Amino acid sequence: MIDLHEGEQIVLVKRRYWLPIAAESFTFLLIALMPWGILYGLNLLPSDIEGFVRNNMSAFYFLACAWLLVVWTSFFVAWTNYHLDVFIVTSERIIDIDQVGLFARDVAEARLENIQDVRIETIGVLASIINFGNIHIQSAGATKEFTAQHIHKPQEIRGAITKLRRAEQPPRTPSL
Amino acid sequence: MELDLSKPLELGLVAVFGLALGAFIVMGVILNYHWTRYETSISKIERIRLIYFGVGATIVGFMTLFLIKAIR
């Protein structure tokens, strides 16, 4: 779990858009089905190989299951990399976690009062239609710029930051 | 049932079983560490664990059945 300060609450959690991981999942599905494809096209193989496989069907199914287990594990590694790559807005700060790989992780954070500028970038027809894009946040802290890519509805992050910052500021008294 | 490891096919199948099971368990431990350490929702962690280990254990179960059948 992410360590939160006392009284701090998670306001918004944003991940990369699901379309790339869906495409990757479909690829994993095709790879997983390969042994059954071989089985389907068994009669296309040379007769001695076909005969060997037909005489050892249990061994073939065993290897197909082993293949499935490897693909299943690989899929979960890819999914974990996607799922843990996350942009979090809390009541006190923003946290940008880049899950580069299983053993490579980049975590940056900035307090809300240090945020100077929020910029949203939408490039391309597909991004405009589906409403996803990149968000760039300028900070006065140690990490100067935060970039979260391929975020669905990035304006929600900007909205949450604006709302939290307004809530932080004391109400203005009208000058006489 | 008699396991004869002198037969190359049987030896190969047992080796594949050991490697696949070992990789599944080791990766499961690593992934579980990541989910526990970095996931924001506890209920989601439990669901992810259930799916990964549940489906994985089912596949291992089928592997065991086919392995027994193959080396008979």
Q: Render pLDDT for A106-133 as a digit per residue (tens, 0 to 9).
A: 888 888 888 888 999 998 898 888 888 8
Per-residue pLDDT at B3 exceeds 70: no
| CA separation for the pair A38, A88 (Å, rounded) | 45
Q: Mind listing the pLDDT tens digit for each residue in A50-90?
A: 888 888 899 999 999 999 999 999 999 999 999 988 889 99
Per-residue confidence (pLDDT) for residue B5, from 0 to 100? 53
Residue type, A51: G
CA–CA distance from A27 to each of A24, A34, A78, A122, B54 (Å)? 5, 11, 12, 27, 22
Per-residue pLDDT at A173 exceeds 80: no
- DSSP secondary structure, B24-52, as one string: HHHHHHHHHHHHHHH-S-HHHHHHHHHHH
The continuous run of DSSP H or E covering A35 comes out as helix A34-40
Instruction: Give the other-Cβ count within 10 Å of A70's Cβ.
Output: 19
Q: Which residues pair with A16 in a beta bridge?
A: A151
Give the ipTM of the model, two decimals please: 0.89
Residue of B nearest to A55 (CA): B70
Q: Is B14 on the interface with A (CB under 8 A)?
A: no
Please tell me the total number of residues recorded for chain A in this structure.
Answer: 176
CB nearest A69 (choices: B24, B31, B67): B24
Per-residue pLDDT at A1 exceeds 70: no
CB nearest A66 (choices: B16, B30, B37): B16
Q: Mind listing the pLDDT tens digit for each residue in A10-24?
A: 899 888 888 889 999
Per-residue confidence (pLDDT) for residue A145, from 0 to 100? 85
Q: How is the beta sheet containing A132-139 ordered, strand by strand?
A: A115-121, A132-139, A145-152
Mutate to test the interface with A, among B21, B37, B59 (most CBs of A within 10 A): B59
Q: Is B53 on the interface with A (CB under 8 A)?
A: no
**Sequence-ordered strand ranges (E) for chain A:** 10-15, 86-90, 93-101, 104-111, 115-121, 132-139, 145-152
Contacts of residue B20, Cβ cutoff 8 Å, sequence gap at least 6: A66, A69, A70, B63
| CA separation for the pair B45, A42 (Å, rounded) | 41
What percent of chain A lies above the pLDDT cut of 90? 32
Per-residue confidence (pLDDT) for residue B28, from 0 to 100? 95
Interchain contact, A84 vs B52, CB within 8 Å: no
The nearest CA of chain B is from the CA of A4 a distance in Å of: 10
Residues of B with CB below 8 A from A14's CB? none
Residues of A with CB below 8 A from B13's CB? 59, 62-63
Q: Which residues pair with A115 in a beta bridge?
A: A139
Per-residue confidence (pLDDT) for residue A37, from 0 to 100? 92
Residue of B nearest to A77 (CA): B31
Instruction: Work out the average pLDDT over A16-37.
Output: 93
Per-residue confidence (pLDDT) for residue B7, from 0 to 100? 77
Mutate to test the interface with A, among B48, B66, B69 (most CBs of A within 10 A): B66
| CA separation for the pair B51, B32 (Å, rounded) | 12
Q: Is A9 on the interface with B (CB under 8 A)?
A: no
